[in-house]
Amino acid sequence: MYVLIDCDHFYVSCERVFNPKLNGQPVVILSNNDGSIVDRSNEAKALGIPMGAPYFQWRDFLKRHHVAVLSSNYALYGDLSFQVMRTLETFNPDCEIYSIDEIFLTLSENDDPIAFGRFLKEKIKRWTGIPVSIGIAPTKTLAKVANRQAKKLYSLDGVCAFLSSEQIEKNLETLPTEDIWGIGRRFSNFLQKKGIYTAAQFKNQDDHWIRNALSTKALRTAWELRGIPSLEFDEMRPNKHSIVISRSFEHPIIKLETLEEIISTYAARETEKLRQAKRLASSLQVFLMTSFHKPREPFYANALHLTFSEPTAYTPTVVAYAKMGLQKIFREGYFYKKGGVIVTAPPLNNTMCYTETPD
C-alpha cells in the first residue's frame, strides 16, 4: 500500500505556524513577484477567491473582506517542508518526496492503514504545526484519489484508505477525467469527446487504444487505476510550484566528493525538467540526512535554501548553487543515507485570464 501525505494549504499553514493570529482568518499567499495568488486558506476559498487570480484584479475585494495578503516566503516553506520530511523519516526511511508539500511512503502489510494514517497526521501536526491530509491505496495514483477524498469529506478526519475494490470503483465512478492525476486537460478533453467522462470509464478502455490514442504514460495511469503499481518516481508529473529529485542512497556515503557528484546529477536533471515544463527556478533547497534507524551512528540532518539572482533554468548555474549549498551543510564524520534538491519553479504564465471576477 502507498501512503500520500499532502500538507493542507501548505504556504498558509507555514505562515500560521509563525503567526498564530492568522488562524481562522482568510489568508492568501502571493507569487514571488506578487503577481498572482498561489495559495489560499479555507476561509479565503469560501469567499470565492480563485487560485492563480491576478492580485491587481482582486486587491480591492481582498481589502474589503479583510483578507490577510502575504508575499511568499520560500525559505520558510522549504524549512518546514524539511521538518515534515524529517518527521516522516523517523517512522519510515523510504520516503519519496514528490513536491515541497507532498510525500509518498509505503505501508507494511502488518500495519493498520487508518490507524497508521491518523498516527502520522497527529505526529506531523504536533512536531511541525502543519496540518496534513493522508490518502492510502494500492497504487500512487489511487493514493492521490484517496487523498482528494480525505480533503473533501470532513467525516474522514483527514485520512482516507481504499481497502476494497468496491470502494475504489465507487470513487472512480464519480472522479472526472480532468481530475485524474497525470491525464491533464488536453487528454481529458479528448476523452470526453469519445464519451469517456470518469476515471472508471477510462481505466476500462482497451490497453492498445489508450497507448495509441494517448500515450504510454496514460496507459500506466490506467493500470494504476486498476490497482497495478506502474509508475516510476521520475515519471510523476511536476507539482505546480516545485520540482524535486531525492533518493535514498544504496550505501551510506561519507565523502563530500561523492555527494557532490550525486547532487550535481540531481541538479542537472532538475534543469531538464524545468525546460520540459517551460519554467524557471527562483530558488532551490539542498538537503542531506543520515539514517534515523542506525542508533549506533550519530544522526545529522540539514537543509539550505538559496535564492537565484534571477530566475533560471541554466544547468551550470543551478548545479553551482546546488554544490554550494551542499558544501555549506556537509559535515565530516557522518554516514549520509539520503539527499536531494528541490527547486521552486512557479509556472511562467502567472497572470492568467479568469472568468471569475470579484463582487
Average pLDDT over residues 28-37: 87
State how far the Cα of 273 lies from the Cα of 270, in Å rounded to an integer. Answer: 5
| Signed CA dihedral, 102, 87, 80, 130: sign only | positive
Q: What is the pLDDT of residue 240?
A: 60
Q: What is the pLDDT of residue 301?
A: 86
pLDDT band (50, 70, 90) for residue 279: confident
State how far the Cα of 235 lies from the Cα of 218, in Å rounded to an integer. Answer: 11
Query: 342 pLDDT exceeds 50?
Result: yes
Q: What is the pLDDT of residue 182?
A: 84
CB–CB of 94/105 below 8 Å?
Answer: yes
> Could you tell me what percent of the chain has a pLDDT over 70?
94
pLDDT band (50, 70, 90) for residue 148: very high
291 or 116: which carries more pLDDT confidence? Answer: 116
State how far the Cα of 285 lies from the Cα of 281, in Å rounded to an integer. Answer: 11
pLDDT band (50, 70, 90) for residue 348: low
Average pLDDT over residues 329-346: 90
Q: What is the pLDDT of residue 234?
A: 52
Q: What is the pLDDT of residue 206?
A: 93
252 or 92: which carries more pLDDT confidence? Answer: 252
State how far the Cα of 129 lies from the Cα of 13, in Å rounded to an integer. Answer: 8
Average pLDDT over residues 188-192: 94
Q: Which of 207-211, 220-224, 233-237, 266-270 has the lowest mean pLDDT?
A: 233-237
pLDDT tens column, 233-242: 554 555 567 8
> Could you tell me what percent of the chain has a pLDDT over 90?
65
Query: How many CB atoms neighbour CB 324 within 10 A?
Result: 12
Q: What is the pLDDT of residue 74?
A: 86
Q: What is the pLDDT of residue 97?
A: 85
Q: What is the pLDDT of residue 327?
A: 96
Terminal-to-terminal C-alpha distance of the chain = 45
Average pLDDT over residues 85-91: 88
Query: 354 pLDDT exceeds 70?
Result: no
Query: 358 pLDDT exceeds 50?
Result: no
User: Where on the phi/psi map is residue 222: left (φ > 0), alpha (ψ -120 to 50), or beta?
Assistant: alpha
Backbone angles phi, psi at 36, to 5 degrees: -150, 165
Average pLDDT over residues 207-227: 92
DSSP string, 169-228: HHHHTT-BGGGSTTTHHHHHHHHHHTT--BHHHHHTS-HHHHHHHT-HHHHHHHHHHTT-
> Distance between alpha carbon 290 and the CA centroid of its chain, in Å?
23
pLDDT band (50, 70, 90) for residue 353: very low
Query: 324 pLDDT exceeds 60?
Result: yes
Q: What is the pLDDT of residue 93?
A: 73
